[in-house]
Structure 1
């Protein structure tokens, strides 16, 4: 049997090629996927669209994020490769509703408007649409076989298991033993993190601590030079990083590099749906939370970024048990009435939020971080840090709905409108919040290389 490589197309990106054998795949929630293929030339491509059009034309950086600009880009790329517009055939999927269906949701209809714009552009170019499954309330995958031009649209949680193997839930002792066996975030990083949080530090103290851990120093510098931190100048030593990037950005890169190593202990058979999935999701939530905190003024942007990075640390603890229970997880996640954390509790006896809280306390995280890690799925239950809990919940939800495919997740949406209201937003602000998702930071090869 011939093996075909599956290439993941992340939100806000597209890929085109000629005479290739790979399968292009996009996980789609509210995002829209458009696959185009010219069978006579064996030329095709797939675009993963985030929004209908730019929230503000002056802020446009990545044109491929939007239906209005991305679809023409893909068509031009295919024509440059030799495709003929009249021979292209389109398959369209995604565009589901964000969450609780209200009149506001129906009026905003991000996915529906992306679909309308994409279809109008295709029609104007004379491209025939042969398959279209859009709307609804579910996450799906769109696949394009670059060897044949055939496309498949499937529910993301499609049950591919023929049978369920016997599963025994872990005991609390099993969980605690797993925590003891995991390679922790380096003590150097934790010490720098606490210094950063205390606001009583000097950058020379931080760089001196970082110099004590050569492995972490190396990974930090590599991350400083990656697209995640938009490095334009090659940085070779930590002191240069301070001068070029600034103190806050350097410390963010230290924490991110340390969390990268920790999340990398999760395999792709549990929560992580692709190589580095948990880490990429965490980076996306952290960056989006930082923007939400800045726009709302409800939390320190430093704290929001850190909390976003750390909110799912419990998934690494439970990852191996989720892998064992994956037939049950995938089957039940396809049922609309199943709550993700309730399902964890039912099958494992503990949620990733609870497991993460145990670890956070062991690592002596602040009370506010511990509360947010515990309650990021149920922010309304937060007693002292409701603002931060709602920020992380909203960032997590936006990543799951608009940038699906990195990790096993299904956020509850009943808190969505409360989160917007609590943070001072309306549904009209949603496109701008979605636009804050860091397209250039997700699935970056430079970041992947730091995991090795």
Structure 2
């Protein structure tokens, strides 16, 4: 069985295949051959800026590496017989001097190596830095480890370009169901100050799948509630109306993204998890910035790439060429989409937004999130979404293949009034999205 180890997570075991997709993040696999026990850690950042709960230890090199080693020791492993395999820390095609400020990988690697040395763990393989993302694959039964560039195999097969007509795109959009009416019903209820909890709960319970997803999201470490939530009624009480509505919309958007899995996604649910990570980061940055509504920012992040749902089936048909042009020619994904199929996901997203009659602010985000410098309206939230998208692609590359031009990053931060150093504090919100 293959297990994807997501950002900020740790897995210890004796059987199965572990994989981590890495760019600026660092992946660490450790194996004890004598005890046939292995583990993998997907490190997001070098060290915490404040005290962290136990379930966040694996986000950071300073706390995660000792946690992995100690966890293996508890299961009978010995540091003296451990071997370490390290990958990641790539800069991923920096396009501007400012982009170097986001390169935390060097410090992450430094702390990782220091922790391994402290425990006396030998390093068997190290493939770090550079500009290409990696896939770290680790077989727990044998300790065999491979470190390979992401998508090397997919990028080698040759296919022809396939321009897609407007009629085909329109038909695809017409087949996509908008966010279900139940989500809007719940939104209207929550906006009514006189509505009672039982009525809202009854509306949610009409959809068993939605109810299950709400409970799953409520009990995630991202929400961080003080107790386990076992019912929709409890969820409403503990979450409050804004957060509950956010979770309802997220659960419904997950269905839309999961309907398309063949083109952009590098793993199951890749497009949705990218959207969710971007949404969380948008919300965190909006809180710091202070002028943008955090809930609107969250929705912006969640929907910014919705055009990919429209194009996914067409990208699937030309997938190797799409990957090869991004990897070999270092083109941003919109240019590649235009060249290969004749339309990019920003344009497709705008078409979908018009079909669904979404607000103008979301239309601007969909069309301009790769080119915020030309947005005339809603400039702050467009730039915020762009910044969050850049960071999500930088630190969580294994979800979907997308190349975002970072040349406008400093200008966007200036517009928002955010300092690059403050970004570090918010990156942990992208973890725990699975």
> Which of 160, 165, 176 is residue 171 of structure 1 equivalent to?
165
Partners in 2 of 1:406 and 1:281 — Cα distance? 6
Alignment of 1:101-180 (within 5 A): 106=100, 109-160=103-154, 163-166=157-160, 168-180=162-174
> Which of 388, 397, 404 is residue 397 of structure 2 equivalent to?
404
> Which of 24, 29, 32 is residue 23 of structure 2 equivalent to?
29
Cα root mean square deviation, aligned: 2.6
Aligned length: 430
Partners in 1 of 2:259 and 2:342 — Cα distance? 22
Partners in 1 of 2:54 and 2:75 — Cα distance? 26
> Which of 62, 68, 75 is residue 81 of structure 1 equivalent to?
75
Partners in 2 of 1:166 and 1:418 — Cα distance? 37
* Distance 1:70-1:293 versus aligned 2 partners, 3 A rule: same
Cα contact 2:136–2:145 (8 A) shared by 1: yes
* Distance 1:205-1:372 versus aligned 2 partners, 3 A rule: farther
Cα contact 1:32–1:115 (8 A) shared by 2: yes
Q: Which residue of 1 aligns with 2:250?
A: 256
What secondary structure, in the 3-state scheme, does the structure 2 residue paired with 1:10 have?
Answer: coil
Q: Which residue of 1 aligns with 2:210?
A: 219
User: Bigger shift: 287-296 or 161-170?
Assistant: 161-170
Q: Which residue of 2 aligns with 1:70?
A: 64
Alignment of 1:273-422 (within 5 A): 273-422=266-415
Q: What TM-score, normalized by structure 1, do the two folds share?
A: 0.88
> Which of 11, 16, 22 is residue 15 of structure 1 equivalent to?
11
Partners in 1 of 2:377 and 2:170 — Cα distance? 27
Q: 1:428 Cα deviation (Å)?
A: 1.8
Partners in 1 of 2:256 and 2:102 — Cα distance? 38
Partners in 2 of 1:168 and 1:284 — Cα distance? 31
Q: Which residue of 2 aligns with 1:90?
A: 84
Q: 1:214 Cα deviation (Å)?
A: 5.3
Q: 1:432 Cα deviation (Å)?
A: 0.9
What secondary structure, in the 3-state scheme, does the structure 2 residue paired with 1:334 have?
Answer: helix
Partners in 2 of 1:293 and 1:183 — Cα distance? 29
Partners in 2 of 1:291 and 1:206 — Cα distance? 28
Partners in 2 of 1:103 and 1:53 — Cα distance? 24
Partners in 1 of 2:101 and 2:244 — Cα distance? 42
Map Cα deviations across residues 153-209 of structure 1 (whole Å, 9 max, x no partner).
Answer: 11113133664345533211111111112233213324655x59xx96446299868
* Distance 1:205-1:319 versus aligned 2 partners, 3 A rule: farther
Cα contact 1:93–1:153 (8 A) shared by 2: yes
Partners in 2 of 1:329 and 1:306 — Cα distance? 28
Cα contact 2:24–2:103 (8 A) shared by 1: no
* Distance 1:79-1:338 versus aligned 2 partners, 3 A rule: same
* Distance 1:324-1:10 versus aligned 2 partners, 3 A rule: same
Q: 1:106 Cα deviation (Å)?
A: 4.9
Map Cα deviations across residues 291-338 of structure 1 (whole Å, 9 max, x no partner).
Answer: 000011131001001111111111111111111110101211212531
Map Cα deviations across residues 114-173 of structure 1 (whole Å, 9 max, x no partner).
Answer: 001111111222211121111122211111121221211111131336643455332111
Partners in 2 of 1:331 and 1:11 — Cα distance? 25
* Distance 1:207-1:415 versus aligned 2 partners, 3 A rule: farther
Partners in 1 of 2:421 and 2:200 — Cα distance? 45
Cα contact 1:210–1:216 (8 A) shared by 2: no
Q: What TM-score, normalized by structure 2, do the two folds share?
A: 0.91
Task: Give unpaired runs (5+ residues) of structure 1.
Answer: 444-452
* Distance 1:101-1:178 versus aligned 2 partners, 3 A rule: closer
- Note if 1:204 corresponds to 2:195: yes
Cα contact 1:88–1:127 (8 A) shared by 2: yes
Q: 1:97 Cα deviation (Å)?
A: 2.4
